[in-house]
Structure formats: C-alpha cells, structure tokens
Structure 1
C-alpha cells in the first residue's frame, strides 16, 4: 500500500508539470508496467484529479485545469530544486530576498517529514561577490502588473520615477508626462528586471527598468510586433538608456569613450551608466573598489579615453600606464626573451 501511494504521488507530480506524457514515458519514469500506470491514473481520477486522456498517435495523459496541487506533493528531487531556487534567488533577482525566504519557510512547514529532511539537507550559505550590484527592492505589485500586461498583451500607462523611487510632480525639472507602452517581454538581466516595450508616443522600442516605473494597468489590447533585429538579448544589452543607475561603490568616475553607446552598453559592468554623446562617442560612468579598478575596466574597452573625471581617476590611469610600460620593459630585458646568453 505504501508503494502504491508513493507511486501515485510520483505520477501526480509528473502530470503536474503541465506537459503531456505518453503511457510509455510514464511507465518508464515510474518503473512499472503500462497496465499499472492505467490503474494508477484511474485511482487518481476517483480522487477527483482531472486527468485528461489525449487520443491519437501522439496521445497520452495531461492534468486538466481547475485543480491546485498542494506543496506536499513534491517529490524528493522537486523539494531539493525548490530549496536551491529559493535560497539562490536573492543572488540573481535583488529585491525579492525576504519574499523568497518567507516562501521557503511556508513550503517547509507543509511538507511531510521525509521531504522536509531533503530540503533541510541543502542549507546554503551565500557569500557576497563584490561584482554583485544590489538593486533597489522591487515592488511585487509593479512586477505583477507588468507581468500580467505582458501575458495578456494589454497596454500599460507608465511614469518614470526618480532614482529614489519617488514620482516627479508637474513643474519639476525632471517631470515627464505619462507614457503608453505595449509591453512585449519581461526580462531579468544582471540582477535587474526590465520590460521591453513599444512606446506609442515615440513609435519606438524602449527598454525600462521595472523598478524605475510607476505603472497603471489598462485593459486595452495590442497585437505583437517584431523586435528590432529579432534578438531580444542583444536588444536589451545594447540599449544604453534602459534606466540604469550607478551602483554604490567606494569609488566612482567617468570617461568619454570613442565608441558608440550601444557597444559600450553591451559590455559595461552592471551597475554602470552609459550616456550617448554622438554616433561615435559616449560617456561611461562606473564604480569599483579602487581608482585603479575603474582604470582597469576602462582599459578593457581598448579605445581612446578623454574627459576623465575626477582627477584621482586621471592619476590612476597614468599609474596603470606606467606599470604596463614597466612590465613591457622588464619583459624585453629578460635574457630568455632577448636571446642573450
């Protein structure tokens, strides 16, 4: 009886993934005969689980709508996956740390002892990486509103917030009228949430930070549009005016680069700001743990630098140049390199 119950829960867990399973696949996963799978399906149906039969050569079984699977139906592998996902979520999606911790605690309470033990066996200690750039806390209501608008293809009315999260008032120098956007994609990149949308006022594609918008949902539908270049990742990464703000670092500076803004935006570290100057130049503002760190990052772009600010950054670039020149001199004078006996 225990084996039958465990197998039924495993079957329900597989069907709960949302995909269609053939009879052969289910039998292989459960390690039983196809006849046993049919019997277990009927058992679950008698318990009011809406398991639909899909007929035809590609048929099989699929869990129907109208039923919510409680967390206690996780198997061991799913319990471990949930534990890892919720414990590592704050490292990649800043602003959701408290929510992820509460979700993990809630799931932990309702799991049976065997699955609870599986989750407890994987308690992680996350160490902060200095290249993590914490973003401001994300409003779950805003994220839900944008996600729903993307899913249902509904126009959003939005206002651009100040960096501190407040809304500019009419008459303020940074006030901009509300925009109407067609949100096509919700994207997570470098620990930040972005919405890729078509701006109806400018007739242009835009990328906006979700935490930088005050959104008001509408029920006005829109139809899909083709992305510029048809490459979502490239479009997001190469858009320089996506609402990024400078991350908190001990030191920060800027320089004028002889490269287009879309090139620098794609390769600049997260937490930096790229300003378009003209078709061939942009200004990059970034931070690091030292002035030498900023100078080193700027050097990776392999282009001319000008208008460096502040003076400490100029001095750090000169020091870096001297160090590299000394390295080249020492390398040239090395007998093993020069061929001297």
Structure 2
C-alpha cells in the first residue's frame, strides 16, 4: 500500500511540473523528482492512460509537453487555486447565464476537497447579490455567446436579426463589425460598429439571432474613449470620465436633496452623490429625457433644489402641472378598477 501511495504522489508531482506550460526534458524531470529517466517514461505513460494528453517533443534532448485534450482528465490544483476557483464559482452561481453549471461544478469541486480546504471554502462562503432583473430580461443562449465570441475573435463581419422589443424582428438583418461582448447589470451586450448607420451601437444579446455565413474580415476601429470599459460606462452611466463624448446621457442634471447622502446613495444607481451635511446631499444624475430625469429625482420624496440646468427646472414645472391636473381629475366617488 505504501508503494502505491508513493507512486500516486510521484504522479501528482510530475503532473504539477508539466502544468507549468513549458517543455521538460526527461533528464530535467528525473532530476527534479529524484527518479530515473526510465521511471519518468513509465509515469508519463500512466498519466496518458488517465487521459492527460502529453506529447513527446522532438529535439536533441527530447522531452514532454502537456497539451489540451479532447476530454477533461482529472485535474490538479494547489490549495490557493482550489479556493480561488470555489469563490469564483460561488459568484458565477448567482444570476448568470451559467448559474446552474457553476453550481454543479462547485458541488463537484467541494466534494473532492480535503477537509482543510473545504473548511477554508466554507469560511469564505459569499453571497453574490444581484439587482432585480428587469421584467424584459431574457435568458441568453450559451450558443449565441459562443457564436459572437468566435466572430469577435476572428474579426469577421456579422449579420443578425434583431428584435428591439416583443415585436417580430425586421426583415432586413443588421450588418456590423463586432468588437466586444460585455456584461452590464445582469445583461449581455454586443458592442459593434453598425455598417448601415456608420456609428457605434450596443445590442442586447438575448435579442440577437446570428445569421450565417459571416462576412469578410475587418480591421478593428478604435472605440470612443479608447477602451471598452470607458465606452460602456459612458454609454450607460452619463459621462463616466469620457470628457463629454457623444456617448454621454443626453440629459444630465444636478440637484440638492433634503436627505442624507447615505439615504440616497443606495438608490442613485449610476448617479454621483456628494454629502453636504447631515441632512442634505448633492445628486448628479443622467437620463434619456428631462422629464424622465425629473421623475427619477422626484422618487426620493424629499425637498429638491435644482442647481441646473434650466431644462431640468422646466421639466419639474411641467411634471408639477401634470400631477396637479391628475390630482384634480381624480373622482373620489369612483371605486377601484375591477
């Protein structure tokens, strides 16, 4: 039994060396493991029988390299790798496209962990809290993600049908140069250069139905802002440090609210909240319309002082008149709708 344990330990040590992504000569491996070259060859054969695709490297000294295979062999992680993987899987197991697969992978990993590692993982158990999904959020098919990833990597033009709402898609497919696949607030987006509109666009992935074949290869353009992070935060979060590019919110205003900053910040979403004392704070927020911005600010149920711009103050006045009219038009004698 002792000999079998020694052999198993040696195989794991050999596998650990091969996973360092470099070519090893038989003599180097023998020296590192303090065994003969003949034992190295025999252990390599055993690892191959277990499913590890180890190729023989040509050359004067010969050697071995661990390649990617056609199926998943038994895996070997050190302690820190195993804990990091478990934490990543816990995060992925909440509200993502691969949530179910991540949960199964985490259960499998935890089952084979030694007690000391399982204890570490249990101490590190985390809850990845996601904001509530919008009613129109749809599940993204993994195959669509793979198809989009492939054309982005290949830098090939893409045609796809796009459903902008619950209605049927247009007869004419979109034709784009796909650049990035990103996630933002529980949704997948394709960032692409729209060849018909000659402008950058973000497309919701769950509304994309790719067509085949793909188009010719293209030379990638530079994103506004220089990188995808700046572009996306600019597109969805106001200027996001973009310096006032065309991707900003079209309407952006500043107010002082009669609430502590701590009460406003959790609900400000992409806004900027600045504390002005124990009972007031400054809120800078963006929206697609002035009316929408005024309504969003009004939900805080507090005294509002408009700092600017004048369009926001006008929108508050228009909303006030509309709400006053709605209040007058209410007929108390009318019961609730059935």
Bin of the TM-score, shorter chain as denominator length = 0.5 to 0.7
* Counterpart secondary structure, 2:90: helix
Q: Does 1:86 align with 2:89?
A: yes
Please, which of 237, 255, 271 is the counterpart of residue 233 of structure 2? 237
> What TM-score do the two structures reach when normalised by structure 1?
0.58
1:220 and 1:198 map into 2 onto residues whose CA distance is 14
Q: Which runs of 5+ in 2 are unaligned?
A: 255-261, 275-281, 308-338
Q: Does 1:160 align with 2:162?
A: yes
Closer, same or farther: CA 283–98 of 1 in aligned 2, 3 Å: farther
1:152 and 1:63 map into 2 onto residues whose CA distance is 26
Residue number in structure 2 paired with 1:309: 295
Q: Does 1:68 align with 2:44?
A: no
Please state how far the C-alpha of 1:70 moved relative to its aligned partner.
Answer: 1.6
Please, which of 144, 147, 171 is the counterpart of residue 145 of structure 1? 147
Q: Does 1:218 align with 2:213?
A: yes
Please state how far the C-alpha of 1:263 moved relative to its aligned partner.
Answer: 0.5
Residue number in structure 2 paired with 1:43: 42
Q: Verify the 8 A CA contact 1:154 1:217 in the aligned structure 2.
A: no
Please state how far the C-alpha of 1:99 moved relative to its aligned partner.
Answer: 2.3
2:265 and 2:19 map into 1 onto residues whose CA distance is 53
Q: Verify the 8 A CA contact 1:8 1:40 in the aligned structure 2.
A: no
CA RMSD of aligned residues (A): 4.7
Q: Verify the 8 A CA contact 1:275 1:283 in the aligned structure 2.
A: no
Please, which of 8, 15, 31 is the counterpart of residue 5 of structure 1? 8
Q: Does 1:178 align with 2:173?
A: yes
2:300 and 2:102 map into 1 onto residues whose CA distance is 43
State the Cα deviation string for residues 42-99 of structure 1 (Å, max 9, x = none): 234424442343769xx975323445342354454443333222112145x6333222
State the Cα deviation string for residues 106-128 of structure 1 (Å, max 9, x = none): 5556x4xxx36466432354335
2:44 and 2:285 map into 1 onto residues whose CA distance is 70
2:216 and 2:37 map into 1 onto residues whose CA distance is 43
1:293 and 1:176 map into 2 onto residues whose CA distance is 43
> What TM-score do the two structures reach when normalised by structure 2?
0.58
2:297 and 2:221 map into 1 onto residues whose CA distance is 46
Please state how far the C-alpha of 1:141 moved relative to its aligned partner.
Answer: 2.3
Residue number in structure 1 paired with 2:222: 227
Larger radius of gyration: 2
Higher relative contact order (CA 8 A, sep 6+): 1
Closer, same or farther: CA 208–189 of 1 in aligned 2, 3 Å: same
